[in-house]
Structures are given as structure tokens and as C-alpha cells.
């Protein structure tokens, strides 16, 4: 399935969940992402990366359903990586739980990632997941997390430590 087709499906599914759950809280978010390798093949073949993500939140009280799509590019270590830079488009759904006072949150997401390499015609669609913890002040939010997906070309898990910051507009 093409990533562009996933966006309307993701929005429709989250809207349906929010409507059926009679969600009291809904919102949209957009973040800038910095990624550093977090072990395994990521450390061996990449230096760092960056990207953006956006999504929607819907839920009651302190629990929100999350749907997101993003784009990240991981920069190859030219000395060891014949495949070149890696592009990653994750499409995920998950849960966000706000802790007391509603400004600290924990979030876990799972889905698929559309992965391609700069010097390879192969692409893949591996299982992807992440965990993160963050803070939200008014419309600004920031989070640190761990994002991973299975890498076919380099055989193993591609894991990244991420720092995200952006806006979250709730209504």
C-alpha cells in the first residue's frame, strides 16, 4: 500500500474511533524530529537523522488514541554503508496516557514503516514501533523516545533515540 493512501485511511479510522467513543478531547500535532542511532546496525551504518511527523489524538479524560504518519531520513556513514541514506515513512496507531496534572505523558505506537535506501531499488514495509515520554505546555510539546523497525537489507533491527518538538492543537 502506498504511503499517500494511508493518510486518508488513518484519518478516517481515528475519526471513527473518536466518534464512537464520544471523545471529549481531540487534537492534531506536528513535530520536528532529531534521531541518533541507538545500537545494533544503526550505530554501524548511520550517523544521525531528522524528519517530521504529524497526527491526530482523540480520547476521554487522560487517555488518547493516536494516529500518525511521518518522514525521516537517516544519513549513511559513508565508510561502512554501501546502501546510502535511508528514508523511513512510519504509519502508526497507538495510545497516549497523560499522567496527573495532564502535562507529562507516556506514549506507545505500532504500525508499519515504508523504508527505502538511497543506492538500492529495493523497498520494504517492516513492522515498526516506538515508546516515548514527553511534556505538553499549552500548544507546545516535546518528547524523547525510542523508535525501531526491522531492516531487511542490513539484517537486524534499526533502532533510534529520538527527540521531538512541535505543536499540539487540541479542541
Exposure string over 88-123, b if 16+ CB within 10 A, otherwise e:
bbbbbbbebebeeeeeebebebebbbbbbbeeeeee
Answer whether residue 10 shows pLDDT above 60. Answer: no
Query: 61 exposed, middle or buried (CB, 10 Å; 0-12, 13-18, 19+)?
Result: exposed
The pLDDT tens digits for 18-66 are: 555 555 788 999 999 999 998 777 888 889 999 999 999 999 889 999 9
- Domain edges within the chain: 3-170
φ, ψ at 106 (rounded to 5°):
-120, 145
Gap between the Cα atoms of 142 and 103, Å rounded: 11
DSSP for 64-91?
EEEEEEEEEEEEE-TTT-SS--EEEEEE
SS3 154: coil
CATH architecture of 3-170: Beta Barrel (2.40)
Torsion of CA 106, 14, 6, 97, to 10 degrees: 0
Structure confidence at residue 124 as a pLDDT band (50, 70, 90): confident
Q: Three cell numbers at 8?
A: 486518508
The pLDDT tens digits for 88-120 are: 999 999 999 999 888 999 999 999 999 998 888
Report the candidate in 92, 82, 66 with the shortest Cα–Cα distance to residue 153: 82
pTM of the model: 0.82
Helices then strands, counting H and E runs in the chain, come out as: 2, 9
Residue 90: strand pairing partners: 113
Amino acid at each position: 500500500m502506498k504511503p499517500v493512501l494511508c493518510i486518508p485511511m488513518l484519518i478516517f479510522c481515528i475519526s471513527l474511533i473518536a466518534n464512537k467513543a464520544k471523545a471529549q478531547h481531540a487534537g492534531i500535532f506536528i513535530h520536528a524530529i532529531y534521531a541518533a542511532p541507538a545500537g545494533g546496525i544503526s550505530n554501524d551504518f548511520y550517523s544521525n537523522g531528522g524528519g517530521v511527523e504529524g497526527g491526530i489524538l482523540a480520547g476521554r479524560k487522560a487517555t488518547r488514541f493516536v494516529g500518525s504518519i511521518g518522514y525521516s531520513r537517516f544519513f549513511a556513514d559513508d565508510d561502512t554503508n554501501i546502501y546510502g541514506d535511508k528514508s523511513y515513512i512510519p504509519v502508526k496507531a497507538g495510545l497516549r496516557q497523560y499522567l496527573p496534572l495532564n502535562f507529562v505523558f507516556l506514549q506507545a505506537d505500532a504500525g508499519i514503516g515504508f523504508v527505502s535506501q538511497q543506492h538500492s531499488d529495493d523497498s520494504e514495509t517492516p513492522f515498526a514501533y516506538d515508546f516515548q515520554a514527553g511534556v505538553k505546555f499549552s500548544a507546545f510539546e516535546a518528547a524523547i523516545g525510542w523508535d525501531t523497525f526491522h531492516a531487511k537489507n542490513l539484517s537486524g533491527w534499526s533502532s533510534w533515540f529520538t527527540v521531538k518538538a512541535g505543536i499540539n492543537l487540541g479542541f
